[in-house]
Amino acid sequence: MTTKSLTREAASAAADAQWWRGASIYQIYPRSFADSNGDGIGDLPGITARLDHVASLGVDAVWLSPFFKSPMRDFGYDIADYCDVDPIFGTLADFDRLLERAHALGLKVLIDQVYAHTADTHAWFLESRENRTNPKADWYVWADPKPDGSPPSNWQAVFGGPCWTWDARREQYYLHNFLPSQPQLNGHNPAVQDALEAAMTFWLDRGVDGFRLDAVNFMMHDPALTDNPPVANPAKRTRPFDFQHHFHNQSHPAIPDFLARLRRRASEYGDRFLLAEVGGEQAEAEMKLYTEPPSRLHSAYGFLYLYAEALTPQLVRDSIRQWPDDAQTGWPSWTFSNHDAPRAISRWAGTRDHKAFAEMLLLLLVALRGGSIVYQGEELGLPQGHVPFHRLQDPEAITNWPQTLGRDGARTPMPWTAGAAHAGFSTAEPWLPVDPAHLSLAADLQERDPASTLNAARRIIPLPRRLPALKTGAIALVEAHDDLVVFERGSGADAVLCAFNLGEADTPFDLPAGWRVADSVNLPDGWTGGALPVCAGLVAVKA
């Protein structure tokens, strides 16, 4: 073998090991994707049966939200056993079949890991709360009350109320940053870190390709239990959580060292991928810290787009400037919708045509530098589902009704078949109702329509494979003002120019000399410039 062929092989192996750069990941919320056994709840065999649909989109990987044993008070994000499948979703054998089928279709599989907290039914917590001397006594965050019996600090929980719940057996409070049924693990404890790494290893040995790490910046707290300072004139006032800067119940400086440990373990298995979820007011700095090359996580995503009230050129500009293409900055990932935020179309489209807007969003998502995460139903152009109050399941939505939309509207069942009961999701009444407005967007109807959003998605999502600059190229902002955003990906002969009209009226734009349109959405045939129509987006290459 020649030196040149060895070099090519090494380059190819390096590219394979970094398959996640510019990859498209399809997020599946198992409860709402497909029900195979008629109990109204989606499951692993249902996902396996629908993987051909996912593969047809041209995505590189699927990310499965939690399917582990759980009391389901937070619908799987309260884990009772990291190494087993909850019976409502199936069995470990069902997971193995799903993994095998995904790999046969060329899809990587990522699974959720929640290392900040467990369910209060987890065996670790049941032992920990028995007394102050048992082997797991310090596996969770316990603290004595203040002299007057009040909680140890002023910390407030995301889902409402104090972060502390009294436990009479230990005569102490335990910490929970979310629900009281989600006690906080003591991430500082080396034994806890060992146990979490062992859980990761269990799934690595089973063949998963990576992990999405939930609420990463909540993994460790300030052991001194320092009070959080108040926010002056908070913009949001829907819950006590909004009144504080969360400097001490999260974001501890020891977190990056634990993440580096997880990265080392994953690296032992080759091309595995670690993706962090990072929210909160310090998210930008923390995402960069947690993905700092070369030893920490591969990528992170935050809530810049997920919680934005409007999609503007300035928002896109900010996202581009946050992640410069240099040796010190990690690799971002982007998502416009997911299981925790109202669907982007309902937040942003306004009076604009929903179909046109949905297709523009897909093109913008894959054009940005970074990984792209497509939430189930975005390929159909689904708006937020309507869930009446008496059908709400989300504890946050119920607690804060009617001030917040909650998460249930983004979690309604996938509409597979317009004419079938419950849109083909299940033969039984689903755990959340199918929104009748989703029936006209069902997958079977769009499958037969060449002009559908589904078929547009099948063209748009794989674009980075055809235009490598969209996959790994640098990004340079050209302009972002009024309604227009223009940026360039890559450089030289392989560069790609991207332009989007994010406004509600046509906006002036001419393609610069030397470029030709390679793909577009909502652009008339024969377009020669002058104005970019509403919801139009294009990617152009050198002529």
**What are the beta bridge partners of residue 517?**
540
pLDDT for the residue numbered 13: 52
Structure tokens at 426: 């299940």
Share in percent of the chain as helix, strand, coil (round to 5): 30, 20, 50
Question: Is residue 512 reached through a cis peptide bond, with omega within 30 degrees of 0 on the bond before it?
Answer: no
CB distance 231 to 122 below 8 Å: no
pLDDT for the residue numbered 3: 45
Task: Name the residue among 477, 486, 539 with its Cα closest to residue 508.
Answer: 486
CB distance 62 to 106 below 8 Å: no
pLDDT in tens, the chain (543 residues): 454 444 545 444 555 679 999 999 999 999 999 999 999 999 999 999 999 999 999 999 999 999 999 999 999 999 999 999 999 999 999 999 999 999 999 999 999 999 999 999 999 999 999 999 999 999 999 999 999 999 999 999 999 899 999 999 999 999 999 999 999 999 999 999 999 999 999 999 999 999 999 999 999 999 999 999 999 988 878 889 999 999 999 999 999 999 999 999 999 999 999 999 999 999 999 999 999 999 999 999 999 999 999 999 999 999 999 999 999 999 999 999 999 999 999 999 999 999 999 999 999 999 999 999 999 999 999 999 999 999 999 988 888 787 776 799 999 999 999 999 999 999 999 999 999 999 999 999 999 999 999 999 999 999 999 999 999 999 999 999 999 999 999 999 999 999 999 999 999 999 999 999 999 999 999 898 999 999 999 999 999
| Cα 207 from Cα 191, distance rounded (Å) | 25
529 CB neighbour count, 10 Å cutoff: 11
Structure tokens at 371: 């990984």
**Range 198-207, long-range pairs (CB < 8 A, 24+ positions):** 199/82, 199/83, 199/113, 200/113, 200/262, 200/265, 200/266, 201/265, 202/82, 202/83, 203/83, 203/111, 203/113, 204/265, 204/266, 204/268, 204/269, 204/272, 206/95, 206/96, 206/99, 207/99, 207/103, 207/109
* Chain centre to alpha carbon of residue 424: 25
Assess whether 214 carries a catalytic annotation.
yes
Start-to-end CA distance of the chain, whole Å, equals 38
Helices (H) and strands (E) in the chain, counts: 16, 18
Using one digit for the tens of pLDDT, what is the confidence trace for 481-535?
Answer: 999 999 999 999 999 999 999 999 999 999 999 999 999 999 999 898 999 999 9
**What are the beta bridge partners of residue 167?**
172
CB distance 312 to 318 below 8 Å: no
The beta-strand segments (E) located in 86-197 are 108-114, 142-143, 164-167, 172-175
Structure tokens at 523: 């652009």
| Cα 253 from Cα 423, distance rounded (Å) | 48
Catalytic residue among 214, 378, 379, 408, which? 214
CB distance 431 to 393 below 8 Å: yes
CB environment 252-281: b (16+ within 10 A), e (fewer): beebbebbebbbeebeeeebbbbbbbbbbe
Assess whether 447 carries a catalytic annotation.
no
In three-state secondary structure terms, 44 is: helix
Catalytic residue among 148, 205, 268, 309, which? 268
Structure tokens at 75: 């619908």
Q: Concatenated DSSP letters for 348-392?
A: H-TTS-HHHHHHHHHHHHHHSSSEEEEETTGGGT--PPP--GGG-
What backbone torsions phi and psi does residue 538 show, to the nearest 5 degrees? -145, 155
Using one digit for the tens of pLDDT, what is the confidence trace for 183-204?
Answer: 999 999 999 999 999 999 999 9
pLDDT for the residue numbered 15: 55
Domains of the chain: residue spans and CATH? 22-117+190-223+251-463 (3.20.20.80), 473-542 (2.60.40.1180)
Q: Which helix H or strand E contains 297, and what residues bound it?
A: none
